[in-house]
Structure 1
Amino acid sequence: MSRAQSTERADVVLSKLQLLITRKLDGLLQGDYLGLLPGPGSEPGESREYRPGDDVRRMDWPVTARTTVPHVRQTVADRELETWLAVDLSASLDYGTADCLKKDLVIAASAALAHLTVRGGNRIGAVVGTGDGVTRLPARPGRKEADGLLRQLARTEIRPGRADLGTLIDKLNSSPRRRGMAVVISDFMTPTGWERPLRKLAVRHEVLAIEVVDPTELELPDAGVLTLVDPETGASHEVQTGDARLRARYAAAAAEQRATIAREIRRAGAAQLRLRTDSDWLLDIVRFVAAQRHARTRGTTR
């Protein structure tokens, strides 16, 4: 497929994707302005009694001392939100055995985030990591600018090699000029090194980690001998998937790996959303947003 054909296909797919997202997500943001995540905001608001699960860093000590009952200080959500995406488009994302490629899921998640956050003067920007390095797309306000950013993401060619996820996240630590929301979209199939930058990012910003997964990365199918190729190095390896013990060891190792990823994301203080290539990703996003907002009404943020 030529570059022009690839670009045309990306535009068609993106148009259909945006139409789908608009139809299904409209209505989620009715009422007072609310961010995608129930973040702390930056403007002080009223105090209320402490509830289990509240962030102790928001304790209102003067009110607590006067009333002898623990209180936390609420904050008002920012009216203009700056959202930055760290988009991992390494070679490992050019893979999928179910309804779509992981790259398609990355673009879909980016489009949904743009729809949920770009309104009322909000700005959205991105840093994109590929095997060639990192590209920065400046944050700009407006639906038209967001659409342009999504087209650039959809047209990005995946090349051999892996983007350094830690370096990619670190780019977000220097890009935003004000407090806002940072979203890391990756399969997190990388050696350690991204945990510290993620923790640093969460100190100042509201952080969401979107983990993109294919079912074969969790369990091997019973399909006889398979030749597996590492998309980043080109190395190949034959695997006898008919061996039940091998499949069990693979599933156990994959579960441990994903548990480690979830633990590190949680330790960083970020929210986590897992999207799979074999599930309804849009429904998963809707459920995530609903759960976060329900948690906010109960006084919790995670």
Structure 2
Amino acid sequence: MAWTKRTGGTGRGQEGDQPGVAGTGPAGAERPSWAPPVLRGDRLEAGLRTLEFDVRGRLDGLLQGNHLGLVPGPGSEPGEARPYQPGDDVRRMDWAVTARTTTPHIRETIADRELETWIVADVSASLDFGTAFCEKRDLVVCAAAAITHLTLGGGNRIGALVSNGAETVRVPARGGQAHARNLIRTIAQMPRAEEGTAGDLSLLVDQLRRPPRRRGLAVVVSDFLGDTAWQRPLRGLSARHDLIGVEVLDPRDVDLPEVGDIVLADPETGRQREVHASALLRKEFAAAAQQHRSEVARALRQAGAGHLVLRTDSDWIADVVRFVVARKRGWSGAAS
């Protein structure tokens, strides 16, 4: 059972914030520059514009110029030359540069093939929670914005399946910046499910699996809390697509604070339990949370999926960059 913290007066809002106001962080903490913008109410449109600027500016800057996206594979457009390394394809040897430098060089190519990407966005009730500088739901929107930026272009298309547990919205796969903005806005505007409404990630993944779609990239964004029935459809999805699992976490998903008596609530079933946060309980809670996270990592690994972890108290763009760089190193065979 996945329990989330709820204290009197704050509901699903931030720890130390006013009810329903997200983004100010814990009481007394200064909001860092990397924190996601507020993506609700009358601040939604401004927040989406800020998010787009952040993703374009910081992601391109940290990745140092043009990048090949999240999928491997050569293209036909010539890129930069680099020194030959053992294991490189000798057919890509750049003899002109090799002659000038007297050192073997190969010519990189820029991937230009058409790619179809699908995002499975879980915004069920357990995502409407956050005790740091945003809610987990906000990170789902941020992850979708980053994936869109890294995959869109060159005739690529992107679509999404978004579910809050009560309803599911399908955004058809299309190309273009206008469509990308509409997709991200659709995820951000997905209504919050009523407390007691359970999400079904396995059904959501299965909807993407059937009917079969053209081979491409599938990205599942969720906190992966609750049952593990999603593992089997996820393995089926990976048999046809490149797969990435984005796990969204809050500090209170992995440990309890030393605050005395608290009420723990499961937002997807409505069950509540009042407990005393003793040292023993906090230790057992942390151990159970760590075990669950290990099971999620193992399930994604067995499915052949990349595993990206985003936290509400961490620089999410820097985490995305580290993931992309490590993924590319894995494709090239370079040492990590």
**TM-score normalised over the length of structure 2:** 0.74
Report which of the two has the higher share of helix: 1
The within-5 A match list for 1:78-227 is: 79-160=113-194, 161-174=197-210, 177-227=213-263
Q: Aligned-pair distance for 1:166?
A: 0.7
Match of residue 292, structure 1, among 327, 330, 334: 327
Residues 33-78 of structure 1, C-alpha deviations (whole Å, 9 max, x = no match):
623143x6899xxxx9889xxxxxxxxxxxxxxxxxxxxxxxx956
SS at match of 1:26: helix
Aligned counterparts, 1:24-39, within 5 A: 24-27=58-61, 28=63, 30=65, 34-38=68-72
Unaligned runs of 5+ in 2: 1-19, 21-38, 77-84, 89-109
**Separation in 2 of the partners of 1:6 and 1:113?**
21
Spell out, residue by residue over 1:150-185, the C-alpha distance to the aligned partner (whole angstroms, 9 max, x if none).
111111111131221111011221366311100000
2:193 partner letter: R
Please state if 1:15 is matched with 2:49: yes
**SS at structure 1 position matched to 2:274:** strand
Q: Root-mean-square deviation (CA), in Å?
A: 2.7
**Alpha-carbon contact 1:127-1:134 (below 8 Å) kept:** yes
Any residues of structure 2 matched to 1:60-71 within 5 Å, and which? Answer: none
Q: What SS does structure 2 have at the residue aligned with 1:204?
A: coil
Give the total of aligned pairs.
268
Which amino acid counterpart does residue 107 of structure 1 have in structure 2?
V
Cα 1:283–1:140 change in 2 (3 A) is same
Matched residue, 1:256: 291
> What is the percentage of aligned positions where both structures have the same residue?
47
CA distance in 1, matches of 2:111, 2:143: 23
Paired residues of 1:133 and 1:163 also in contact (CA < 8 A): no
Give 1:151's aligned amino acid: R
Alpha-carbon distance between aligned partners in 1 of 2:116 and 2:60, rounded to the nearest angstrom: 21
Partner of 1:69: none
Give TM-score, length-normalised by structure 1.
0.82
The structural deviation recorded for 1:234 is 2.2
Instruction: Name the CA shift for 1:169/1:41 in 2 (closer, same or farther; >3 Å).
Output: farther
Letter in 2 for 1:168: L
Aligned CA distance change for structure 1 residues 120 and 29 (closer, same or farther; 3 Å)? farther
Q: Deviations over 1:69-120 (max 9, x none)?
A: xxxxxxx956111100000010000000111100001001111111111111
